[in-house]
Amino acid sequence: MGCVPVRGGRMADIIRVGLLGYGTIGSGVIKLLTDPESRIADRIKLVKVADTDLEREREVKVDPALLSCDTDSVVNDPEIDVIVELIGGVGAAKKYVEMALDAGKDVVTANKYMIALHGDELHERAGRNGARLLFEASVAGGVPIIQVIRDRLAVDRVLSINAILNGTCNYILTRMEQVPGMDVDQAVAEARQKGFAEADPTLDVSGMDTAQKLCILVRKALRTLVLPDQIDLQGIAGISNVDVQSALEMGYRIKLIAHSHRVNGKLELWVGPALIPAANTLAQVSNEFNAVAIKSEAHGEQTFIGKGAGMMPTAGAVIGDLYTLLNHDNVTSLLSESRLDIPIVDSKNVRCRYFTRFTVKDQPGVISAVSGELAARGISIASVVQHEKAVDPRQGVPLVVITHETTAGAMSEAVAAIDRLDVMLQPAHTIRIMDTL
C-alpha cells in the first residue's frame, strides 16, 4: 500500500483515508480530520467519503469534491490506504471490509455487530493479505479498553469484567434517579433530544448493543468466542421509577451491566440491569459515561471511565485507531491471539440475590402467597418493602422483595408461578443484586 507503514521498516509520513458512512459518527470523524488545529491533520488525509444519501442536510460539512455515492469505487481506489467503515450492520459493511482487506488495505471500524459475529473470520482475512483490522471504536466509546487489553494486559490473566457499555441506557437510568416519576419512555425522549439515543433506541434499551460489545471484550480479554445469542440478556425497558427509587433508598443504584466472570473453570456471562452498591465505582458512573472494571491476576482491579454516547467519543476512538496505524508498524489485527474457548456456565445455574417488584392487589394474604411460592423453590426472603397504597386501587401496590442468594433458574420458576396468582395485577420484574463485583 502506498503510504502505510512498511512492514519491518520506517513509519509512513501520511496515510490516506476513505470513509464509508456519513452519519453521526462519520460526521464526527470528518470534523476531527478536517480541524485545521489538529495535530494530525497534515498526516491523516481524508480522500473520499462514501454514503448512499448525499442530499440529506448535515451539521458537519465536507468538501463536495470528496463525496461519492459509489462505495465500490472508494474501496477500490488505489490512492486510499485505509478504509474507515461506519456503515453499520453486517451485509454491506462486511462486503466492503472484505474487499478492502483483500486489496491489502487496513480497516478501522466501529461496527460492533460485525466484529461480534465475524471478527475472527475478518482477522484471518486481514492476515492473509498483510492488512490490519482495528476496532477500538466498537466498544465503550471514549474508553480505550481494547488498547488496554492488548498492551497492559497482554500477558496477564483476566478473571472478571463488569462494565457499563451503553451510554444511552446509563443516561436513561441516571435521569430516572434524578427525576422521581420519570419513566423509561420519557428518559429516552430526553436522551434523543440530547443526541444520546437513536431515533429507534431498541438496540440500546434491549441490551443487545451491550451484549455485542461484551462478546468483543470476552474474545479479546478471555480469548473465548461468544456470540450475542449465547449471552443471558435482559434490557431496561421493564425498569420502573419505583425500582430506581427503591434501589436508592436501599443504598444501591441500578446500572445496565455486562458481566463476565471465571467460575470453577467456566465463564459466567450475562447482560442486564443490576443493583450496584452506591459506594462502588461503577455505581457512581452517571449520564452518558461508560466504565469497564477489569480484575486480573497481575494488575488486580482496574476501572476505566469515559464518555460512551454521542458523536465525538466514538469518532475519537476511530481517530485513535488511525493514529495507531500511522505510528505503530507492529500492531496486528486485534483478534490475533489463539482461542481458549472457556466453557460457558448454564445461565440457570448462575447465583445471586434478587430484587423483585410485584404489583399486587391491596388485600390481606398477599405477602403469604408470594413468600409461599418462593419457599417452595428453596428461596428465602431477606426483606420485604410494601409501598403506600395506590391512589387508584386498580393500579395495585408495589411490593418489593429482596431474596437471599439463589439460582437464576429457581428465581425464574418462582416468578412465573407468582405471576399466575390471582393477587398479581402486572407481571413481576426481577433485577439482580451485585453486592460484590
Catalytic residue positions, numbered:
213
- Here the CATH number for the domain that contains residue 88 is 3.40.50.720
How far apart (Å, rounded) are the C-alpha atoms in residues 204 and 241?
19
pLDDT at 283: 98
Q: Is residue 265 part of a domain?
A: yes
pLDDT at 57: 85
Query: Do 167 and 290 meet the contact criterion of CB atoms below 8 Å apart?
Result: yes
Q: Is residue 44 part of a domain?
A: yes
- Here the CATH number for the domain that contains residue 164 is 3.30.360.10
CB atoms within 10 A of CB 385: 14
Distant-in-sequence contacts of 282-286, Cβ < 8 A, 24+ apart = 282/162, 282/163, 282/164, 282/255, 282/257, 282/437, 283/252, 283/253, 283/255, 284/253, 285/164, 285/170, 285/255, 286/170, 286/174
Helices (H), 110-221: 112-128, 145-151, 167-178, 184-193, 202-205, 208-221
Q: Is residue 131 part of a domain?
A: yes
Among the candidates 276, 307, 338, a domain finishes at 307
- Domain check: are 237 and 283 in the same one? yes
pLDDT at 392: 63
pLDDT at 389: 60
Q: Is residue 290 part of a domain?
A: yes
Among the candidates 277, 307, 337, a domain finishes at 307
Query: Do 19 and 84 meet the contact criterion of CB atoms below 8 Å apart?
Result: yes
What is this structure's pTM? Answer: 0.92
- Domain check: are 106 and 176 in the same one? no
Q: Is residue 336 part of a domain?
A: no
- Domain check: are 267 and 403 in the same one? no
- Domain check: are 250 and 380 in the same one? no
- Domain check: are 275 and 138 in the same one? no
Domain count, the chain: 3
- Domain check: are 19 and 129 in the same one? yes
- Domain check: are 187 and 233 in the same one? yes
pLDDT at 5: 44
Among the candidates 142, 171, 205, a domain finishes at 142
The parent domain of residue 126 ranges over 15-142
Angle between helices 167-178 and 184-193 (to 10 degrees): 120
Q: Is residue 7 part of a domain?
A: no
- Domain check: are 173 and 288 in the same one? yes
pLDDT at 99: 98
Q: How many CA atoms lie within 13 A of 35 on its CB side?
A: 12
- Domain check: are 138 and 164 in the same one? no
- Domain check: are 22 and 91 in the same one? yes
> What DSSP designation does 90 have?
S
Residue tagged 454491506 (cell numbers): 92
With 0-12 / 13-18 / 19 or more C-beta atoms within 10 angstroms meaning exposed / middle / buried, residue 415 is buried
For each of the chain's 437 residues, which pLDDT tens digit applies? 444 444 333 356 899 999 999 999 999 999 999 988 888 888 999 999 999 998 888 889 999 999 999 999 999 999 999 999 999 999 999 999 999 999 999 999 999 999 999 999 999 999 999 999 999 999 988 899 999 998 889 889 999 999 999 999 999 999 999 999 999 999 999 999 998 888 899 999 999 999 999 999 999 999 999 999 999 999 999 999 999 999 999 999 999 999 999 999 999 999 999 999 999 999 999 999 999 999 999 999 999 999 987 789 999 999 999 999 988 766 655 555 678 889 999 999 999 999 999 999 989 999 999 999 999 999 999 999 887 665 566 778 999 999 999 999 999 999 999 999 999 999 999 999 999 88
Q: Is residue 277 part of a domain?
A: yes
How far apart (Å, rounded) are the C-alpha atoms in residues 225 and 341?
6
pLDDT at 329: 65
Query: Do 289 and 303 meet the contact criterion of CB atoms below 8 Å apart?
Result: no
Q: Is residue 312 part of a domain?
A: no
- Domain check: are 185 and 227 in the same one? yes
- Domain check: are 23 and 68 in the same one? yes
